[in-house]
């Protein structure tokens, strides 16, 4: 594998793509430290530290996707979340609006049109989110100190909306540049870079725990650290296997003779993924759970405070609803992106059939039968990964920042993006007559 990495820089085109991608990521990380005008950074950092100690909030999810930029309120404070939300919304609307569905079937021209709509949606979401963040910042105080230098100045709202919205659009453009001129999926790599950026802070906490300096009343033994490292390796292997897991449905095509040419007569298969939804189910479930609880925690009313406590991390109701929502969105997203009826009709039109199953309705029922069962296995696995950081935190008594590297949204995104990027690099190596990352077999990306 080390020789494969060395071979990456022997191919001029691949070397240029890798260096360009790394350069964009460096620019992104620099932007995560450029502050928004008018914000008291020290007071804001202390406020977010106090906020995070109270449990999961919607800001914790935003912080993960922005690489911690929201906690510093930098120019990339919104991160790429508006673009992700816009992409998911367009993808869902494509399945329910006939005009968009028709547009999606027009090939490259339709894709470019939908991508343009996604950009418009990103701008709209960024303007709305940044406006409410600016209003929220004006009202926050830590003791007698205000987060905003001049809370009564309406120019702060204009500058904040302009800064955060432009930062999100710049990130979207940087991701597209990686997609066109770099290697890997640009948006996903930016998210992964933000997640990995918290690794040094987590490593520092681990070193403090090992040196008998307690962090939040916790202390870590060397043997426990070894067990955690072994557990991390097992989690990465499990995520890789489930992410790449497929149920291959065999398909045969009947032979057709048109003039002197013979068409069909070939065997292929339909790959049904065990985990079709990936990390999207967790994002939806977290958003629905955390947003109302976060809003309720800001209102000084006893009933709402009790509701926020019941929906916070560690509460039984939180985990119960979290698991149910993940399972629901796994099935919901799978139903959106894979329609057994359309697949069965397309197979029937081209003379394809599944051995032992009649074409048409019975084929659609069979595909739905198989997909329903393998999706359950994937949904249960996603539920396990989602609650794993909390289990690690409770079992080994480590801070949540450390435990988050052993499960949850971050590890799913990181493993999936790394697999996809390594697959693209390996394809360049094989085209240039070099060995891939493995001597036997090849990597399969998420797609």
pLDDT at 441 exceeding the cut of 60: no
- What's the confidence (pLDDT) of residue 27? 92
- What's the confidence (pLDDT) of residue 445? 46
The most confident of 209-213, 286-290, 311-315, 341-345, by mean pLDDT: 341-345
Helix or strand run (H / E) with residue 353: strand 352-353
- Provide the token pair at 230: 């072994």
pLDDT at 269 exceeding the cut of 90: no
- What's the confidence (pLDDT) of residue 287? 72
Residue-wise pLDDT for 86-110, tens only, equals: 888 888 788 788 888 888 778 788 8
DSSP class per residue in 246-285: EEEEEEEE--EEETTEEE---EEEEEEES-SSTTHHHHHH
Q: Give the C-alpha distances (Å, rounded to integers) separating 104 from 108, 110, 115, 215, 444.
A: 9, 5, 10, 51, 25
- What's the confidence (pLDDT) of residue 257? 63
Helix or strand run (H / E) with residue 170: helix 155-181
- What's the confidence (pLDDT) of residue 308? 67
pLDDT at 4 exceeding the cut of 90: no
- What's the confidence (pLDDT) of residue 124? 92
Question: So where are the chain's domains?
Answer: 1-197
Is the entire prediction scored with pTM above 0.85?
A: no
CB 69 within 8 A of CB 37: no
Residue-wise pLDDT for 359-416, tens only, equals: 888 999 999 999 999 999 989 998 888 888 877 877 777 777 777 777 777 888 888 8
CATH (one of 1.10.3370.10, 3.40.50.300, 3.30.70.1150, 1.10.10.10) for 1-197:
1.10.3370.10
- What's the confidence (pLDDT) of residue 93? 84
353, β-bridge pairs: 252
For 218, list phi and psi in degrees, rounded to 5.
Answer: -110, 155
- What's the confidence (pLDDT) of residue 216? 53
Distance (Å, rounded) from C-alpha 290 to C-alpha 51? Answer: 13
- What's the confidence (pLDDT) of residue 37? 86
Q: Which of the pair, 253 or 65, is modelled with greater confidence?
A: 253
Nearest Cα residue to 267 out of 340, 352, 348? 352
Residues 6+ apart with CB under 8 A from 273: 245, 246, 378
- What's the confidence (pLDDT) of residue 56? 54
- What's the confidence (pLDDT) of residue 169? 93
Sign of the alpha-carbon torsion through 390, 392, 393, 394:
positive
| Strand spans (E) along 124-277 | 141-142, 145-146, 246-253, 256-258, 261-263, 267-273
Q: Give the C-alpha distances (Å, rounded to integers) separating 293 from 234, 243, 290, 303, 324.
A: 33, 31, 5, 12, 17
Sign of the alpha-carbon torsion through 44, 49, 55, 57:
positive
Nearest Cα residue to 228 out of 92, 405, 9? 405
């Amino acid at each position: 594998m080390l020789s494969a990495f060395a071979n990456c820089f022997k191919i001029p085109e691949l070397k240029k793509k890798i260096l360009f991608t790394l350069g964009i990521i460096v620019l992104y990380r620099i932007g995560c430290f450029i502050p928004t005008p008018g914000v008291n950074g020290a007071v804001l950092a202390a406020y977010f530290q106090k906020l995070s100690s109270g449990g999961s909030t919607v800001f914790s999810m935003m912080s993960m996707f922005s690489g911690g930029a929201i906690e510093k309120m930098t120019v990339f404070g919104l991160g790429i979340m508006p673009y992700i939300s816009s992409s998911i919304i367009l993808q869902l609307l494509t399945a329910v609006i006939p005009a968009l569905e028709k547009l999606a079937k027009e090939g490259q021209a339709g894709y470019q049109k939908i991508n343009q709509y996604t950009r418009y949606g990103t701008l709209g979401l960024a303007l709305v989110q940044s406006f409410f963040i600016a209003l929220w910042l004006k009202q926050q105080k830590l003791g007698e100190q205000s987060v905003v230098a001049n809370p009564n100045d309406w120019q702060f709202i204009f500058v904040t909306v302009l800064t955060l919205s432009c930062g999100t659009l710049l990130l979207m453009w940087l991701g597209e540049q990686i997609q066109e001129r770099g290697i890997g999926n640009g948006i996903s790599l930016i998210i992964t870079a933000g997640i990995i950026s918290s690794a040094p802070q987590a490593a520092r906490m681990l070193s403090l725990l090992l040196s008998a300096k307690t962090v939040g009343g916790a202390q870590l033994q060397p043997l426990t650290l070894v067990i955690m490292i072994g557990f991390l390796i097992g989690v990465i292997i499990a995520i890789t296997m489930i992410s790449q897991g497929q149920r291959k449905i065999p398909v045969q095509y009947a032979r057709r003779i048109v003039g002197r040419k013979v068409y069909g007569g070939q065997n292929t298969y339909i790959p049904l993924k065990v985990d079709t939804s990936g990390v999207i189910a967790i994002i939806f479930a977290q958003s629905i759970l955390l947003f109302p609880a976060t809003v309720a925690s800001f209102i000084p009313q006893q009933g709402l405070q009790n509701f926020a406590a019941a929906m916070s991390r560690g509460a039984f109701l939180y985990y119960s609803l979290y698991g149910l929502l993940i399972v629901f969105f796994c099935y919901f997203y799978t139903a959106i992106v894979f329609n057994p009826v359309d697949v069965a009709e397309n197979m029937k039109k081209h003379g394809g059939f599944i051995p032992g199953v009649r074409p048409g309705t019975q084929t659609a029922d069979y595909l739905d039968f198989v997909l329903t069962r393998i999706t359950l296995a994937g949904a249960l696995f996603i539920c396990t990964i989602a609650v794993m950081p909390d289990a690690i935190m409770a079992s080994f008594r480590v801070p949540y920042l450390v435990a988050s590297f052993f499960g949850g949204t971050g590890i799913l995104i990181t493993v999936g993006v790394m697999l996809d990027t390594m697959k693209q690099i390996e394809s360049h190596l094989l085209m240039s007559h070099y060995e891939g990352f493995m001597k036997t077999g090849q990597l399969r990306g998420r797609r």
